[in-house]
């Protein structure tokens, strides 16, 4: 696995490179100090699997940097790794295609677990964001709950595994169905919820009050 760290603080990047070696197998980690260089690396390194993006760079600040990278490499998994903790900013990042948001206040183990989850095909959001979404379920539009209720029993079972971050292969084994059937269920779930990907489905479910554990 190849990971690109995009952050303008040299010491932070060095610390991240060291920490990421704790993953098994150890990833190939490359670094970029600004958005321009990151875009060039995405072109020259077509095998980048994961981008860890800070939202405050010398040549870009905020969600715009995420939008630029998504446009440059739409199929690459991008995770925001930021000191920002504003729920509005976190939600904007998810809405614009980030497959996770890790705060820099996370412990080393929390950060590594988040990356493992994302690499396994799951999604990661700060727990307080998820808790707030669940607490806000009283204000959820009835249509959201109705959409979830319209899912079949099998689709709800797949959604449960999805919320646990289980990859398609694990869902297939646990439910004793083919991976193609899993994909068909996921497509139906996304279509029903109006979600484009796993992250949006997770956020939708959290907003509607579905337990995440």
Q: Which segment of 96-100, 190-194, 201-205 scores lowest on mean pLDDT?
A: 201-205
Q: Give the distance, in angstroms, between the CA of residue 26 and the centroid of all CA atoms in the same chain.
A: 20
pLDDT of 93 over the 70 cut: yes
Predicted local confidence at residue 49, as pLDDT:
93
Whether the Cβ atoms of residue 48 and residue 4 lie closer than 8 Å to each other: yes
Please give the Cα distance from 123 to 164 (Å, whole number).
9
Contacts of residue 98, defined as CB under 8 A and 6 or more positions apart, other chains included, come to 53, 66, 78, 79, 80, 199
Predicted local confidence at residue 213, as pLDDT:
47
- What is the pLDDT confidence band of residue 128, given thresholds at 50, 70 and 90? low
Long-range pairs for 18-23: beta carbons < 8 A, 24 or more residues apart:
19/108, 19/111, 19/112, 20/115, 22/108, 22/112, 23/112, 23/115, 23/116
What size, in residues, is the chain? 213
- What is the pLDDT confidence band of residue 120, given thresholds at 50, 70 and 90? confident
pLDDT of 63 over the 60 cut: yes
Whether the Cβ atoms of residue 6 and residue 29 lie closer than 8 Å to each other: no
**Average pLDDT in the 10-26 region?**
94
pLDDT of 102 over the 60 cut: yes
Predicted local confidence at residue 108, as pLDDT:
93
pLDDT of 6 over the 90 cut: yes
Look up the pTM and report it: 0.70
């Amino acid at each position: 696995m190849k990971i690109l760290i995009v952050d303008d603080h040299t010491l932070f990047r060095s610390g991240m490179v060291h920490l990421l070696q704790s993953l098994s197998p150890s990833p190939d980690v490359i670094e970029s100090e600004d958005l321009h260089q990151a875009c060039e690396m995405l072109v020259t390194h077509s095998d980048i699997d994961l981008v860890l993006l800070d939202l405050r760079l010398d040549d870009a600040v905020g969600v715009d940097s995420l939008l630029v990278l998504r446009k440059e490499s739409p199929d690459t998994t991008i995770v925001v790794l930021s000191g920002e903790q504003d729920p509005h900013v976190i939600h904007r990042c998810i809405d614009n295609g980030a497959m996770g948001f890790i705060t820099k206040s996370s412990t080393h183990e929390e950060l590594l677990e988040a990356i493992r989850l994302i690499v396994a095909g799951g999604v990661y959001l700060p727990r307080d964001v998820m808790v707030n979404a669940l607490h806000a379920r009283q204000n959820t539009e009835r249509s959201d709950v109705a959409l979830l209720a319209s899912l079949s029993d099998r689709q709800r079972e797949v959604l449960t595994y999805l919320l646990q971050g289980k990859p398609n292969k694990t869902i297939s084994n646990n439910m004793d169905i083919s991976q193609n059937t899993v994909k068909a269920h996921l497509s139906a779930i996304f279509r029903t919820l109006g979600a484009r990907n796993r992250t949006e489905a997770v956020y939708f479910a959290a907003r509607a009050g579905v337990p995440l554990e």
